[in-house]
Structure 1
């Protein structure tokens, strides 16, 4: 097997996927059987600068190059060869946000990420004009808010894109975006697999009085669907990516995608009646719809699969950040006691304790709102832990309530889909950091959604593996093969997973917790208003 992999590397039959996530940039190299053969990652964090959550361009490139180099070093150490070419390359990144450039290719304002809840007025106006929910994270909301704010850079915009579109542009020279990522910039017409022309015309009319030197269609990336070619790695791009100069140019790239789309691919959730949940710094659920929703919901975003099919997305800005902070506190305590505790063991121990808690967390309440939370209409966040004097305050319930609240805001959106709209799901597939401790995240999510939850053995590879599969689909598909068919026959053929069905007692307990969670939002509001 090692010899076969070595030959595949040397003959350029491997495929590389790179994803820029919120806390990690990961590069995954896959072989001819679609299985990962080498990887590298770079840990990073966003910065809060002048009231904006951002990453600098320097950090983007430093992280990208570091993750690539670690992957290339992994190849060298495992197989004794230098990586010089690959069969195809794919790039993925955090969806939404605001990256605008002038005609010279210079960034006009610092990258405004999905995490910024600063576009409320723009969202309200655009949702009314389009009769289509525009979330605060979306690129069009950031653009229109900047216009409403009369920001100086607006007239100089030549290109508006996402972080994956930006990297792809710099590596290939092509201003394109996969339809899934594009659907988080501006609404997509699922019939044409392109931007909604009616809404685009409405937007252009809306800003006519501003006398701007561009129309919206002039500054957005061109839209591609899964399977299409989206550019070739240039010599400059190869040197951007591999600072050692070993990587050769000429490698084909698939359309750059958002982390939501690659998550769907990585969990084989691109077919109707399937869904997936990605749980990390933020948490979002993607449900492939059988029909359009009956009305507009502020809690539900409509995006698409990488193939352009309609998806309902319930997104919560906050998931594991506050939970991780509490685990970090316990780690500090262990060190203060002179104990050398392995972090993975610490997470495993604390998470498994949560399964021993009372079904409803013993009356405890918590909000992990590290940042604002659009699902419950908070422009800022205040992490909180609240209990009554007679609550059952013990470590099991403490961990349980922090795991429960990680799903709290998401459940509000999912209840709309499953209870109000009557959407049917055969199962949900989970991936991301909250599922690393076997069985715990699955059990609690199954209780939250009252749906069987599966985690594939490949779930740990996440979106980097997902975008590698999309690159593989581009160069290996047959003429009429759909993405769904390709994944079933290739990426997931023979792959094993673990499924956990909801426990009725846990489902009932989560519903009780949600009554407390909903009622207690007034406490969170008071904290936001008075703790400035």
Structure 2
């Protein structure tokens, strides 16, 4: 305990904060890289004027609350007021659209990754670059706003992401980590910066608009893991710590996206490794040994925080509808006079799923709370359906909802493994869905037909991942790569639990996926006719 206390007093800690879709989490790690304090703030996106968004006030309120809870945790556990920190890192959900004018004012409300409103831009850019530009990417949002002839375009001075925005306000530095930047605009793997040829192409495309800026002038600078990305300013302290106890001058690592921090948190930054992050959305990431043979609209190409190529199969929807059903069961237990712990409820229902039929008993659901680009839906309608012959019981009901949580992502992953022949040794899972031991792990192993491992730190997630990137920045040795740092100093003693695929369940998941694909016409009818 004294070692921890000394580390806190002497600023030998690192703070990671991640702004996720439903929670802002702050994690303070000690010299052994384990969490010594944490704090979190729950928040939800709002649907305003047909746009998924979070207000700027919510961003700062949530950051301050999560930081204060973490600082209070330090004081409660160790009797110390937190003043010094060795390094800080910020991470957030990737992509989206945040543009600012010369007075640093937000020109339009923050448009999150969840908005499937850029299909025209995505299609045209993909064709022009011969490189997949998903709808979520920041450049697709920018180009769509240009195509829409939105008034604010001529006033843009700076474009960034949510993580980049927070970092900028706390340090004055307009920068992004390369992993985060790879979801803004395509990256040149040699220079570890934006692809200059494509920037020139984009500037030519928009020349008729006579915008008073060139693309390279409004984008943040790109940094790789390990580089110094500025220091916390006096103004930044006031934005983060409302008590003013924290000292300015703390170095910050490059801000990263949740994809990059997920890779770090699961030690999945080396080639032939993969990881799945599953929460509100789900994405599978595979660090590639070579380029794909052709452009696949379903596959994003991003990078690790070090700038190595990653293929990502991303789905907009994962656990939201599943969580809503568990909430319904919670209401029922309360209605009949039982007060069941929420974690116990999840655990019971998840474990019940393993007793279901291999194919889910003929049931079908789509947890499409929002649109789903992987299956070409601009809007979502959560849907559960069955035939009169299906085996409708609780085990199959829960199994089906777990299956469908990975359904859209599975379509993308099949492109990598079945069409492109990508080889994987194992996949590491992290996110809340993996908290019930062995359940979602088994489901995912069946979906991908590959061993799935979960580390004991799986629940720490991206906030811990960005803290590790901060640690790497201040503690790395000369020429020590991120891969070596993580493998040698973070994960060498890490406890790992691995589940191998069961052939019967693999076959069952494939049968479910046939039903899933065939039933998309039902989802289409719901989207088109239920308003």
TM-score range relative to shorter protein: over 0.9
Deviation readout 1:77-103 (Å, 9 max, x if unpaired):
110100001000000000000000001
Structure 1 residue 238: deviation in Å? 1.0
Deviation readout 1:382-430 (Å, 9 max, x if unpaired):
1111100010000000000000000000000000111111111110000
Distance in 2 separating the partners of 1:295 and 1:396:
41
Secondary structure (helix, strand or coil) at the match of 1:312 reads: strand
Distance in 1 separating the partners of 2:520 and 2:376:
10
Name 1:223's counterpart in structure 2: 222
Distance in 2 separating the partners of 1:120 and 1:296:
16
Structure 1 residue 493: deviation in Å? 1.9
Name 1:138's counterpart in structure 2: 137
Name 1:329's counterpart in structure 2: 328
Secondary structure (helix, strand or coil) at the match of 2:427 reads: strand
Distance in 2 separating the partners of 1:466 and 1:394:
39
Distance in 1 separating the partners of 2:255 and 2:507:
41
Structure 1 residue 497: deviation in Å? 1.1
Distance in 1 separating the partners of 2:202 and 2:86:
40
Name 1:240's counterpart in structure 2: 239
Within the alignment, does 1:97 sit opposite 2:96 as a pair? yes
Name 1:386's counterpart in structure 2: 385
Name 2:436's counterpart in structure 1: 437
Distance in 1 separating the partners of 2:343 and 2:216:
48
Name 2:528's counterpart in structure 1: 529
Deviation readout 1:360-390 (Å, 9 max, x if unpaired):
0110111100000000000000111110001
Structure 1 unpaired stretches of 5+: none
Secondary structure (helix, strand or coil) at the match of 1:207 reads: helix
Name 2:453's counterpart in structure 1: 454
Name 2:206's counterpart in structure 1: 207
Distance in 2 separating the partners of 1:491 and 1:464:
15
Deviation readout 1:246-286 (Å, 9 max, x if unpaired):
00000000000000000000000000010000000000011
Distance in 2 separating the partners of 1:30 and 1:202:
44
Deviation readout 1:447-487 (Å, 9 max, x if unpaired):
00001000001111100000000001001111110000000
Secondary structure (helix, strand or coil) at the match of 2:464 reads: helix
Distance in 1 separating the partners of 2:277 and 2:297:
20
Q: CA RMSD in A?
A: 0.5
Distance in 1 separating the partners of 2:74 and 2:492:
25
Distance in 2 separating the partners of 1:490 and 1:74:
26
Distance in 2 separating the partners of 1:240 and 1:362:
52
Distance in 1 separating the partners of 2:338 and 2:481:
54
Name 2:340's counterpart in structure 1: 341
Structure 2 unpaired stretches of 5+: none
Name 1:481's counterpart in structure 2: 480
Structure 1 residue 287: deviation in Å? 0.3
Structure 1 residue 511: deviation in Å? 0.3
* Matches for 1:112-511 after TM superposition, within 5 Å: 112-511=111-510
Moved over 3 A (4+): none
Distance in 2 separating the partners of 1:417 and 1:390:
34
Distance in 2 separating the partners of 1:82 and 1:524:
53
Distance in 2 separating the partners of 1:405 and 1:12:
45
Distance in 2 separating the partners of 1:493 and 1:101:
44
Distance in 2 separating the partners of 1:78 and 1:120:
50
Distance in 2 separating the partners of 1:217 and 1:114:
22
Name 2:18's counterpart in structure 1: 19
Within the alignment, does 1:66 sit opposite 2:36 as a pair? no
Equivalent pairs, count: 531
Distance in 1 separating the partners of 2:318 and 2:21:
12
Secondary structure (helix, strand or coil) at the match of 2:361 reads: helix
Name 1:34's counterpart in structure 2: 33
Deviation readout 1:330-389 (Å, 9 max, x if unpaired):
111111111111110000000100000000011011110000000000000011111000
Secondary structure (helix, strand or coil) at the match of 1:460 reads: coil
Structure 1 residue 531: deviation in Å? 0.8
Structure 1 residue 488: deviation in Å? 0.8
Structure 1 residue 114: deviation in Å? 0.3
Distance in 1 separating the partners of 2:487 and 2:399:
36
Secondary structure (helix, strand or coil) at the match of 1:362 reads: coil
Query: What TM-score does the superposition give when structure 2 sets the normalisation length?
Result: 1.00
Distance in 2 separating the partners of 1:192 and 1:419:
31
Structure 1 residue 15: deviation in Å? 0.5
Distance in 2 separating the partners of 1:11 and 1:350:
46
Distance in 2 separating the partners of 1:164 and 1:226:
15
Distance in 1 separating the partners of 2:21 and 2:144:
23
Structure 1 residue 299: deviation in Å? 0.4
